[in-house]
Amino acid sequence: MFSVNGSSNICGNRANVGSGGAIYIHLYVISLTVDGSSNVSGNQAGGSGGAIYVRWNVDMFSVNGSSNICGNRANVGNGGAIYVQSYVDTLTIDGSSNISGNSAGDSGGAIYVSWNVDMFSVNGSSNISGNSANGGSDTGLLPKKGDPLLIKNNALANTLYKLYTSLITLNTVLFSEMAHIFTEAQEGYLRQRNTERQIHKQRPTRN
């Protein structure tokens, strides 16, 4: 759980060549919250996520309580204010909060989520405006759950994974045969052999 609360300020930070001008989170986050009239502004990243960069997924991401995320910049990357590398279950902007004046060199002037978002809502007189992106959506790039491109990418990833594991298995068997690691009792593991043949081979004959 990561929280910026109680009228806190995270301002004027800079990551010259990396990502996450103010905050870089390397792993999974259950809850990421900016609340209580807090201010995240004027941060800058050479890569993605001008203010906040999360490398993995976020279960719940909320900006609430009249908080401000403004004037952040991702110079050549995505997500002028916020970048999430994986997916977000729930993304909420509420309580008269403000996300404005952020910019990205590529896509998602304010918010960029690389994978799917299950639920995205803007409520309570909140404002998302005046953000800009040179290569894509000014406000945010949020691939939704069930997007055809996401399905194709997942299918491709699954195919490549199966191919990779098959190659690993084949190479392991080849090495084991060359090194004479398998015994006759393990004939079923060898190529062009099977356990049924081995069972018949070892079955005692009746007199």
Same domain, 90 and 190: no
CA-closest candidate to residue 141, choices 85, 185, 183: 85
Please identify, among 103, 118, 145, the residue that sits at the C-terminal boundary of a domain. 145
Per the structure, how many domains does the chain have? 2
Query: Do the Cβ atoms of 202 and 188 come closer than 8 Å?
Result: no
Indicate if the pLDDT at residue 149 is higher than 60. no
pLDDT digit string, tens, across residues 150-205: 333 333 444 444 445 555 555 566 666 666 655 555 555 554 454 444 444 455 55
Please identify, among 103, 126, 145, the residue that sits at the C-terminal boundary of a domain. 145
Q: What would the DSSP string read from start to end of the chain?
A: -EEE-SS-EEES-EESSSS-SSEEE-S-EEEEEE-SS-EEES-EESSS-SSEEESS-EEEEEE-SS-EEES-EESSSS-SSEEESS-EEEEEE-SS-EEES-EESSS-SSEEESS-EEEEEE-TT-EEES-EESSS-SSEE-PBTT-HHHHHHHHHHHHHHHHHHHHHHHHHHHHHHHTT---GGGGGGSTT--HHHHHHHHSPPP-
Same domain, 111 and 177: no
Is 182 inside any structural domain? yes
Query: What is the pTM (predicted TM-score) of this model?
Result: 0.66
Same domain, 158 and 111: no
Same domain, 130 and 194: no
Same domain, 140 and 105: yes
Same domain, 165 and 96: no
CB atoms under 10 Å from CB of 76, counted, come to 14
pLDDT digit string, tens, across residues 101-122: 999 999 889 999 888 888 888 8
CA gyration radius, the chain: 26
Is 27 inside any structural domain? yes
**Enclosing domain of residue 178:** 151-202
Same domain, 22 and 83: yes
pLDDT digit string, tens, across residues 2-14: 889 999 999 999 9
Mean pLDDT, the chain, as a whole number? 78
Same domain, 141 and 160: no
pLDDT digit string, tens, across residues 58-78: 999 999 999 999 999 999 999
Same domain, 137 and 41: yes
Under the banding of pLDDT at 50, 70 and 90, the label for residue 139 is: low
Q: What was the pLDDT predicted at 154?
A: 38
Same domain, 90 and 169: no
Same domain, 106 and 189: no
pLDDT digit string, tens, across residues 12-22: 999 998 999 99
Q: What was the pLDDT predicted at 1?
A: 83
Query: How far is it, in rounded angstroms, from Cα 44 to Cα 47?
Result: 9
Is 52 inside any structural domain? yes
Same domain, 156 and 73: no
Is 207 inside any structural domain? no
